[in-house]
Amino acid sequence: MKLTEHFNREEFEHSGAMPSNVVPAYVNLCAEILEPIREQFETPLTITSGYRSPDHNKEIGGAKGSQHMATPDFCAADFKCAVDMQVVFDWIRLSSGLPFDQVILEHEHGDGPPACIHISWAKDYRRVALEGLTHGRSSYVKRDVELPIIAKAHVDGDEHFGG
């Protein structure tokens, strides 16, 4: 089943079928976040982890509140691509304006290249950027994030937005 032009449901079901009630969350993740990343860098994204059942998440040592255990209000995926992952991560968090909840640049080794990017969609997103080792083997370090345009206007005291 196609979720968007370049993403199929099966890509997010490595560990089993996702419940039908979370499919709309994955459609939003693909349409609002993954498709724009693919377009920006003109390269396909390979989904390395998508939906996880609670049992599978526990089996692999995933975080207890992992957004991979999707609900209608949030979902997550990890991806790789043929572009320098640091460049992709920096674009997402600093200039994309994408409505992500969390973006995490994950490394296999502390001094090694990035292994993947974890990104999540949430109905009420926060725009949090972190960096650390895969599989929760280290604490995550918070990274700067560009504020959305409307938030910037509010922070700057500009009352001339929205009409």
Question: So where are the chain's domains?
Answer: 2-155
Please choose, from the candidates 73, 77, 80, the residue with its C-alpha nearest in 3D space to the C-alpha of residue 15. Answer: 77
In CATH, the architecture of 2-155 is 2-Layer Sandwich (3.30)
> Does 3 score more than 80 pLDDT?
yes
Alpha-carbon distance of 102 to 98, in angstroms, equals 11
Please identify which residue in the block is written with the tokens 């949430």. 122
Instruction: Report the percent of the chain where pLDDT is more than 90.
Output: 75
Mean pLDDT to the nearest integer, 76-88? 97
CA 55 vs CA 69, 81, 141: distances in Å: 10, 28, 28
Lowest mean pLDDT among 42-46, 90-94, 103-107, 135-139: 135-139
Q: Say which amino acid occupies 66.
A: S
